[in-house]
Amino acid sequence: MTALLEVRGLVTEVGGVRVVDGVSFEIAPGETYALLGESGCGKSMTALSLMRLLPDGGRVVSGTVELEGTKLLTLPERAMRQMRGGRMAMIFQEPMLALNPVIRVGEQIGEALALHRNLTGGAAREAARGLLDAVGVPDATRRLDSYPFELSGGLRQRVMIAMALAGQPELLIADEPTTALDVTMQAQVLDVLRALRRERRMGMLLITHDLGVVAQNADRVGLMYAGELLEEGTREAFFASPQHPYSRMLFEALPRPGDSGRLATIPGQVPRLDGTFTGCRFAPRCPYAVARCREESPGWQSFGTQRVRCHRAGELPAVDVRAAGERTGAAPPAAPLLQVDGLKVHFPIRRGLLQRTVGYLRAVDDVSLVIEAGRTLALVGESGCGKTTVGKALLHLIEPTAGRIALAGEVVTATGLQRLRRRSQMVFQDPFSSLNPRMRVADILLEGMDALHVGEAGQRRAAVARLLQQVGLPDDAGGRYPHAFSGGQRQRIAIARALAVSPQFVICDEPTSALDVSVQAQILNLLKDLQDELGLAYLFITHNLAVVEYLAHRVAVMYLGRIVESGPAAQVLHAPRHPYTQALVAAVPRVVGTAADTALRLAGDQPSPIDPPPGCHFHPRCPQADARCRETYPEATQVDATHWVRCHIIAGG
């Protein structure tokens, strides 16, 4: 088949640093080519090179890029502007940054329609409505007049896809299109992309670090590392038998069903690209490296439908990427450390000149939890369901409206917050924004110790050194600023800050959501080690169910401010009883298992907590709902002694 896109020997520099070095690949019409690798490998820079959208100081040094015979790198800029959004388009990683916040959705799509299809006025509006319909935006006519900030993350991503499709492109580049989305929104967006690819015979370049997304969406896979392609092949061959040590180590770092042992990690990190490379770029991190690997850069070798750059390809022991260890028996539960009864957080809605309260946003609505010492409770659900609000309310970072919180048998009150801060801490989702960029790491760790008078003043510096060692940071880390560290290292600093006051209970709010699989493995191992060593209890807030199965002892599933199912992690994830839990589990992209096209899908978006539906809040999206579901909220039904669910029609019962 004739290639739609041909990339040959692409070399790109930014500020004199070679960020893409000799990359070559092809994409056929209707084919999805996944570019896989850790952050900093050059994936996004490859895509920006194809679009000629490099940052200031960036330039393509050599190579060729052809789209059905058109040489893109030699086109004048005026002609290239017609190509962008016309014959080729790009979906960017963060839609809120790519969409203009002060221009309505319909107008933004209309700009692309006017430029590439000469449509204006009523014709453009009708075409824009059709595009929103095509990507599954509900009530498309009304959404045309919405601003981006009025839309959920999933809807904003769909608007980005609609804009990209406005020029009817032959090639679509999707740069981490689902990284910021929860599993249900991710599944919906990927379904849209698959359907559009089939209908329009588009070629697609999918950039991601999620192996599950690759397994369910790609036809061929290219593995990138430090600016180079290291392995390429069909999806089936790549997942059945990865050839490069780097590929194998990425698979081994994944949390797998039934595996409760330590995750394999990749030592070190992606090297800086401003140095000089000798030999294989992965050799410093490779357990199979020999002297030749450090001296001579490997060439390509072919193995059936795969090709790989490795001196030792074909010599490595066989691996089974599906293998998983046996889960060890659960330890007997300890005494409850945290008990939460009837927690509510209602935010008043004020309007008018006098700012009278006209209603309430019920972010958390009657939540009860129990967490034992040395155990982990995972709180899961879609974005906006109230998970983070629960975490902040437990620490009184947001004042609860109602409810009782007891920690170590002592009821938490507004007058006892200093004791609460000593006993409980929080690790936030984005470590960079939660760390003061103007403070050195040692001062960040000392700040909490000084404020809460932890230990003797003269001993705190020594305690900081022990903390840094405990979380696996170098000895000189205390004298550096947060910007000098990688994302995984910054998350370790955030964990060290939480541990600085010797808490018993730690809330982890999506601590691995933005991390590569290799860095995620390091953080999960660290959290497990600290729990075993210090007896910490965790509330782990996440939408990554693979991480939940690996780390958590129990799971609570949250929907629109309420817990709808709770029980042991293995039981809830392998035999979910609530239709919402079933949909969450089915939406997870897996390396092996249910095919994406046949998996259960959750339709629509979560309702507003300002005006929740009557009866069961989930009934507008539930395929099994009946009259009872629309009239009364279900009471908790015990499945067994440790597993309960709020559902009139218990799924699978």
In a domain, 534, yes or no: yes
At 345 the pLDDT is: 96
Report pLDDT for 329: 42
Domain assignment present for residue 532? The answer is yes
Give the phi and the psi of residue 95 in degrees, each rounded to 5. Answer: -65, -30
pLDDT digits (tens, 9 = 90+) for 434-468: 899 999 999 999 999 998 888 888 888 889 998 99
Residue 332 clears pLDDT 80, i.e. is over it: no
- CATH code at position 413: 3.40.50.300
Per-residue pLDDT tens for 388-399?
A: 999 999 999 999
Q: Does the structure show a pLDDT above 60 at 595?
A: no
Examine residue 580 and state whether it is found in any structural domain, yes or no: yes
Residues 6 or more apart whose Cβ sits within 8 Å of residue 414 = 396, 399
In this structure, the number of other CB atoms found within 10 A of the CB of residue 133 comes to 14
pLDDT for residue 520: 86
How would you class 446 by CB atoms within 10 Å of its CB: exposed for 0-12, middle for 13-18, buried for 19 or more? buried
What average pLDDT score do residues 321-349 get?
A: 72
- Are 24 and 73 in contact, with CB atoms under 8 Å apart? no
Residue 292 falls inside a structural domain:
no
d(CA 537, CA 615): 34
Return d(Cα 371, Cα 377) in angstroms, integer.
6
Residue 291 lies inside a defined structural domain of this protein: no
pLDDT digits (tens, 9 = 90+) for 617-626: 999 999 889 9
41: pLDDT strictly greater than 80: yes
In a domain, 394, yes or no: yes
What's the mean pLDDT in 199-220?
Answer: 91
Rg (CA), the chain: 26
297 domain-assigned? no
The structural domain count of the chain equals: 1
Question: Taking the mean position of all CA atoms in its chain, how far away is CA 310?
Answer: 30
| pLDDT > 90 in the chain, percent | 58
Alpha-carbon distance of 77 to 437, in angstroms, equals: 39
pLDDT at 324 over 70: no
Question: At 10, is the pLDDT very low, low, confident or very high (cuts 50, 70, 90)?
Answer: very high
Domain containing residue 577:
336-435+498-646
3-state secondary structure string, 565-611?
EEEEHHHHHHCCCCHHHHHHHHHCCCCCCCCCCCCCCCCCCCCCCCC
440 within some domain: no
pTM attached to this predicted model: 0.84
